[in-house]
Structure 1
Amino acid sequence: MKAAVLQGIKQIEVQEWQYPAPSSQKVIIKVKSCGICGTDQHIYHGHPGSAEVHPPIVLGHELAGEVVEVGSEVKGFRTGDRVSIDPNIYCGVCDYCRSNRAHLCSNLQAVGVTRDGGMAEYCLVPAANCYLIPEGMTFEEAALVEPLGCVLHGFKKIKFSPLSKVLIIGGGFIGQLFLQLVKRQEVSSIMVSEPVENKKELLYKLGADEVVHPNGISAVEADVVIECVGRPESMELAVKSAGKGGQVLFFGVAAPETAISVSPFEIFSKELTIKGSFINPYTQEEAIALIAKKAVDAGMLISHRFTIEELPEAMANFPNLKVSKAVITY
């Protein structure tokens, strides 16, 4: 089968790859769509994903497809089923798994991170990580269930009220998902900080009350700040923009060596609540339901589509392509 294989830092090659061997509790899916995540770019540049990555390996943890082989012990799935994949695999025995915090698993593995993923024609996945999708849902939408699930996990950490003034820092794909969820809360106002001018029209369409350049929000005092970028300046801005009693969610993935300058007195005097959010523990079904009923329109957020053959060049030139959200088509 054909696959785009990560061979090392900034090295992806399209080549013939071994078709996955059947397993009793797993299924083989023919991949129909695979999202390219910001984390894939982090891994491509030599940073860890949700776990350590050891090339050669096939990336792609946002995937959906059709079941073509079913393991002998698998129940609930059959060939021809259309599925979306939750890539994260928990050990079930560590302290975190046993205290209802499986996403912090000490032995976390993930399809497309520690195991071959969706940047290939076929992928072997545990049946427990497969979720049936409704007939009306496209495979592209189904591939975007995983990032929405991650967003849902972070979203649930925030308390909203009709009086909440919300600031979303970053108007890219993740910010656009958060924007749609926040809009459903009927909060007081939603401001999005986004420097790229051509994103404004979509952000207003998705529900933003105001879209401003990051340089123009120095006087903001938001009740809720959601940081979706992961850069030092945007994370520092998140803390500065929070008003008294504010909530700050760090969602953007920073490089491991990133450090920021924050005033402890500011956190103390404003009594801020600062939280992080990591992956998507058991949010897959809810994300499928939201996309299926168009409560969140994920498909319209796709800005680029690539074939496997185009992937090496696309990954090398990702920042220059001005990608908001890209998927691999098969």
Structure 2
Amino acid sequence: MKAAVLQEQEQMVCTEHPNPQPGSGEVVIRVRSCGICGTDQHIYHGHPGSAEVHTPIVLGHELAGVVVAVSDDVDTLAAGDRVTVDPNIYCGSCEYCRSGKLHLCDRLQAIGVTRDGGMAELCAVPAANCYRIPDRMSFEEAALIEPLGCVLHGFRKLAIGPRDHILIIGGGFIGQLFLQLVRASGASRITVSEPAAFKHDRLRELGADEVLSPLDPDAAGKFASGADIVIECVGRKDSVEMAVGAARKGGQVLLFGVASPDTEIHIRPYDVFAKELRIMGSFINPFTHLEAIALVSQGRISLEPLISHRFTLEELPQAMRDYPNLGVSKGIINL
């Protein structure tokens, strides 16, 4: 088969690769669409993924396609089934798995992170990680069920009331998903902080009451007024510090953006104490795939209009190299 293989840091090639065979409990899917996640870029540049990465590896943990081969011990799926994939594989026996916190598994494995993923024509995955999709759902939408599931996990941590003012920091793909969920929750007011002016109209269309640029000096006073809930979707030092500073008394702060492991922030513990802030993290997507599929299939969450760039497998090595300069909000590979 053809695959985009990350041979070592910042060295990806599109090449012939052995066809995967289904192991016990597995199926092989013909990949039709695979999203490019910020985590793929982190791994490409030598930073950690959700688990330790060893090259050579085929990246791609946001994938959907058609089942083409099934292990003899699998009776839940059949060739021809259209599926989306939850990439995360848990050991089931560590302390976290046995206490219901599977996503914090000590031996977490992930398709496209610790084993070959969806940036290839074929991919072997556990049958238990596959979810059938409705016929009316496109493969592009199905591939993006995984990031929506991650957003749902973070969203579930928040207690949103009808009087709440929500500030979303970062209006890219993840911020746009949060925006749609928050809008549907009935919050009183939603402000989005986004420096890229070309995204502002889309953010208003998706339900933002106010879109501000953090680069605009006139916006500083508005951020200082405080939000009941702040959702940080960037993962930069300045944006994280802004998130903590912009929360009002009794506020909730969700740090969703993935920061570099060496990023350090400056906050005053007194402010956390005096404002009695609740600061939370959010890691991957436990038990959210079915809800994400339902939200998209019912038309309550829009995914395809959020895709800014589409690539072929052959274009992927150069796209990964040039990604920071392409102005990508959300990229996807179609096979």
TM-score of the two chains, using structure 1 as the length reference: 0.99
Q: 2:135 corresponds to which residue?
A: 135
1:37-56 superposed matches below 5 A: 37-56=37-56
Q: 1:318 corresponds to which residue?
A: 323
Deviation for aligned residue 1:233: 0.3
Give the whole-Å Cα distance in 1 for the aligned partners of 2:255 and 2:99.
Answer: 23
1:82-121 superposed matches below 5 A: 82-121=82-121
Write out per-residue CA displacement over residues 34-59 of structure 1, whole angstroms, 9 at most, x where no aligned residue.
Answer: 00000000000101100010000000
Give the whole-Å Cα distance in 2 for the aligned partners of 1:29 and 1:220.
Answer: 50
- The ranges of structure 1 where at least 4 consecutive aligned residues each deviate by more than 4 angstroms after the TM superposition are none
Q: 2:214 corresponds to which residue?
A: 214
1:1-330 superposed matches below 5 A: 1-215=1-215, 216-217=219-220, 218-330=223-335
**What RMSD, in angstroms, separates the aligned Cα atoms of the two structures?**
0.6
Give the whole-Å Cα distance in 2 for the aligned partners of 1:76 and 1:290.
Answer: 23
Give the whole-Å Cα distance in 2 for the aligned partners of 1:115 and 1:10.
Answer: 18
Percent of residue pairs bearing the same amino acid type: 63
- Partner SS for 1:224: strand
Give the whole-Å Cα distance in 1 for the aligned partners of 2:315 and 2:100.
Answer: 41
Deviation for aligned residue 1:282: 1.0
Give the whole-Å Cα distance in 1 for the aligned partners of 2:248 and 2:21.
Answer: 55
Give the whole-Å Cα distance in 1 for the aligned partners of 2:16 and 2:315.
Answer: 15
Write out per-residue CA displacement over residues 161-187 of structure 1, whole angstroms, 9 at most, x where no aligned residue.
Answer: 001000000000000000000000111
Listed as ranges, the gaps of 5+ residues in structure 2 are none
Give the whole-Å Cα distance in 2 for the aligned partners of 1:219 and 1:239.
Answer: 11
- Partner SS for 1:58: coil
Deviation for aligned residue 1:294: 1.1
Deviation for aligned residue 1:298: 0.8
Deviation for aligned residue 1:31: 0.1
8 Å contact 2:4–2:120 — kept in the other structure? yes
May I ask how many residue pairs the two structures share in their alignment? 330
Q: 1:164 corresponds to which letter in structure 2? A: D
Give the whole-Å Cα distance in 1 for the aligned partners of 2:253 and 2:174.
Answer: 16
- Partner SS for 2:224: coil
Give the whole-Å Cα distance in 1 for the aligned partners of 2:183 and 2:55.
Answer: 41
Deviation for aligned residue 1:22: 2.5
Write out per-residue CA displacement over residues 94-120 of structure 1, whole angstroms, 9 at most, x where no aligned residue.
Answer: 000000000000000000000000000
Give the whole-Å Cα distance in 2 for the aligned partners of 1:90 and 1:10.
Answer: 28
Q: 1:114 corresponds to which letter in structure 2? A: T
- Partner SS for 1:15: strand
Q: 1:74 corresponds to which letter in structure 2? A: V
8 Å contact 2:22–2:125 — kept in the other structure? no
Give the whole-Å Cα distance in 2 for the aligned partners of 1:298 and 1:110.
Answer: 23
- Partner SS for 1:64: strand
TM-score of the two chains, using structure 2 as the length reference: 0.98
Give the whole-Å Cα distance in 2 for the aligned partners of 1:197 and 1:21.
Answer: 47
Give the whole-Å Cα distance in 2 for the aligned partners of 1:14 and 1:144.
Answer: 23
Give the whole-Å Cα distance in 1 for the aligned partners of 2:120 and 2:225.
Answer: 45
Give the whole-Å Cα distance in 2 for the aligned partners of 1:90 and 1:60.
Answer: 18
